[in-house]
Chains A and B, each alone.
Chain A
Amino acid sequence: MEFFFQLLINGLSIGFLYGISAMGFVMIYKSSSVLNFAHGELLAMGAYIFLALLIWFKIPVIPAFVVTLAVCFSFGFLVERVFLRPLIGEPLIFVIMLTIGLASMLKGAILLLWGGNLYTYPDFIPHFLTIHLGGIDIQPVYNVSFLLGIGFLLIFGLFFKYTSQGIFMRSVADNQRAALSLGVHVRKIFALSWAIAALVAGMSGVILGVLNGINVHELSALGLKVFPVVILGGLDSIAGAIVGGVIIGLLESFTGGYLSPSLRDVVPYIILVCILMVKPYGLFGQVEIERV
């Protein structure tokens, strides 16, 4: 039973991280219907920038985290400006191909700079955050990631609901043309959503790095695991991303624990294919079935 609870908690926390990293992906999809294949590399970038700030520049943890988020934010902005803006109005297939190219480029650049080794952050999370729960220790990392995740979810929930920029973003997602005619600056909103998505990706990259160590191959593979999560949760639903992430995380953890560890990494993709067959718009996605 203890094993079961360990797996449960492990799955929940990993799933939560999947959910957080999928949030950035969903945000881009919602506002510009682009499938971002470079998401994993954005995660990796956040993790490596934080690492560089901590180890190379010896900046204390909290300022380093803030600087990382700022760099990721501006990077997202830059990516939109340089690579994606020229493609507004082009067929979607080019945009998706571009993110594939971008992924390859970023991964190559990170590998050139840091190599493919596994890095770990210096230990900085206070130990009093460890929770003892009937004989099981919940690592402080998990608690911190949970708190951060909840915090960001709240912030984004409020952002989308009440701020003008958030409302603009929702309007662009809903209907670009109508938003344009009502005076929403659509290009600015695109840039903003890429920037915010990169920021979220950077943050989850840091958390993943704390959790598993930093390795560009693993992080970019994780970026691809976003697809099962968002297909399960619904491509355009942020809450769905979290729920989908938790479900996928739990399934992964139990498969790894009870069936076989090697099956663990494939299970999400098997689920993905099944979901596409049965319920292609996911649990919370907007149903606009149009079989052409």
Chain B
Amino acid sequence: MKMRKWNFRLCGNYHESYSEELTIFETYFGRFWLLVGAIFMLVFVPLVSSSYALYIITNIIIYAIAVIGLNVLTGFTGQISLGHGAFFGVGAYTAAIVAARFGSPFIFSVLAGGVVTAMVGLVFGLPSSRLKGLYLAIATLAGQFIIEYVLVHWESLTMGTMGITLPRATILGWELNEDRKFYLVALVFFFLFLWMAVNIMRTKYGRAFIAIRDNDRAAEGMGIPIFPYKLLSFALSSFYAGVAGALWAYFTVTITSEPFNLGLSVEFIAMVIIGGMGNMSGAIFGTVFISLLNEGLRFMADMLINARIFTQTALTMAPLKEFVFGLAIVLFILFEPRGLAEVWRIVRSNFRLWPFSY
């Protein structure tokens, strides 16, 4: 195997073995920049950012975990889930119930959130994964409504509309009593789950997912059992949503069933599409883009209220958000279906040979 060196990226494809083809970082520069980025996120960001900025960044990180999961399902396996908002909620409620009722430790309740959500996901994935076509979209839509109903009406377990308050998270005696500490923990989870997803996609499972997306008949012909793999992909993606939901529950402290509606599911899908389907960095781009768009719209609405241009702006803020969301999805599908990740790739490849691009 050729040594990777501190040299620039080669201008062509000179791979000599499959393992070279699969490397995540072709040169050491990739690892170096990842390290720089990680240190920046771990050290610099919590020191510098205000508590509001930190709140937004933590939210983005938690959502990104769920979106990475949804991307495995939608981007890599080619199935749509319209229930990820509710699955996120299942994770949140599981963690909340386990933590508030039984006082389970933080790590355990987060993982429980993931596992329970994966199982709930399987219930809705089972009927549809058997079938050809996009039946999963319909089944998960049903799942969204059924789960929402259960969250509101199973009062002995979920406290209905009152909501559940979680105890403060502690890891091995280290109390996460500050937003900054929680941010660090969420970041660790994020890197862990990103690393997991990237590596799953490099195994036979990941390749099977991609094969199913590209041509299910050919995949079946090559000996990939499609039903178990579709189900696996769906369970994996529900697991991610559940873990993210559990983290979010700890972050928000008190949860009610309200946020986990169809709107959240559509928001997750928008993040996947706008970021770029079938691209890990796309999930992150999409989450950042949509979250910042949300904040931008809120900021604009606040400004308009202060300027007294519209007295009703506070009322029209939600529909405006809805409209802009839809518009963003539609425009990206029409003009850049591979999303922001593709834009980023184009920009980067333009600079790769700069200034001698020919």
Contacts and interface: CB of A to CB of B under 8 A. Distances in A.
A156 to B, nearest CB: 24
Interface string A61-104: 00000000000000000000001001100111110111011111
Interface string B222-250: 00001100000000000000000000000
A228 B144 CA distance: 13
Contacts of B74: 93
Interface in B267-296: 269-270, 273, 277
B139 A272 contact: yes
A90 B329 contact: no
| Residue with the greatest number of chain B CB neighbours at <10 A, chosen from A92, A101, A273 | A101
Contacts of A262: 149, 153
Dominant secondary structure of chain B at its interface with chain A: helix
Contacts of A97: 80, 269, 273, 329, 333
Contacts of B130: 280, 291
A265 interface: yes
A262 B323 CA distance: 30
B94 interface: no
A158 interface: no
Given A93-B80, A269-B145, A273-B146, A104 B323 contact: yes
B86 to A, nearest CB: 11
Interface stretch (A3-11, A108-116, A247-255): A108-116
B217 interface: yes
Interface in B283-326: 315-316, 318-326
A35 interface: yes
B78 interface: yes
A63 B329 CA distance: 36
A73 B126 CA distance: 39
B220 interface: yes
A104 B318 contact: no
A290 interface: yes
A270 interface: yes
Contacts of B269: 97, 100
A101 B330 contact: yes
Contacts of A91: 78
Nearest to A290: B132
| Residue with the greatest number of chain A CB neighbours at <10 A, chosen from B124, B142, B334 | B142
B311 to A, nearest CB: 13
Contacts of A115: 315-316
A106 B326 contact: yes
A227 B319 CA distance: 24
Contact of B137 (A86, A94, A96, A108): A96
| Residue with the greatest number of chain B CB neighbours at <10 A, chosen from A231, A289, A291 | A291
A112 B146 contact: no
A1 interface: no
A133 interface: no
Given A104-B323, A269-B146, A273-B127, A35 B134 contact: yes
Contact of B330 (A98, A107, A277, A292): A98
Contact of B134 (A90, A93, A102, A276): A93
Nearest to B332: A101
A227 B83 CA distance: 14
Contact of A270 (B141, B146, B319, B324): B146
Contacts of B80: 93, 96-97
A292 B217 contact: yes
A90 B145 contact: no
B78 to A, nearest CB: 6
Given A101-B329, A107-B322, A112-B320, A280 B135 contact: yes
A155 interface: no
A280 B139 CA distance: 11
Contacts of B127: 273, 276-277, 280
A83 B332 CA distance: 12
A112 B323 contact: yes
A53 B74 CA distance: 42
B163 interface: no
Contact of A108 (B126, B273, B322): B322
A112 B323 CA distance: 9
| Residue with the greatest number of chain B CB neighbours at <10 A, chosen from A91, A96, A269 | A269
Contacts of B128: 276
Interface string B181-212: 00000000000000000000000000000000
| Residue with the greatest number of chain B CB neighbours at <10 A, chosen from A86, A97, A290 | A97
A112 B319 contact: yes
Contact of B139 (A101, A112, A265, A273): A273
A129 interface: no
B315 to A, nearest CB: 7
Contact of A105 (B139, B226, B262, B326): B326
Given A93-B134, A276-B128, A292-B132, A100 B142 contact: no
14 contacts: A87-B333, A87-B334, A96-B134, A97-B80, A97-B273, A102-B330, A103-B326, A107-B322, A115-B315, A116-B319, A266-B145, A273-B124, A276-B127, A276-B139
Given A108-B326, A111-B318, A272-B142, 4 more contacts: A102-B326, A112-B316, A273-B143, A292-B132
5 shortest interchain CB distances as A-B pairs: A108-B323, A105-B326, A101-B329, A104-B326, A111-B319
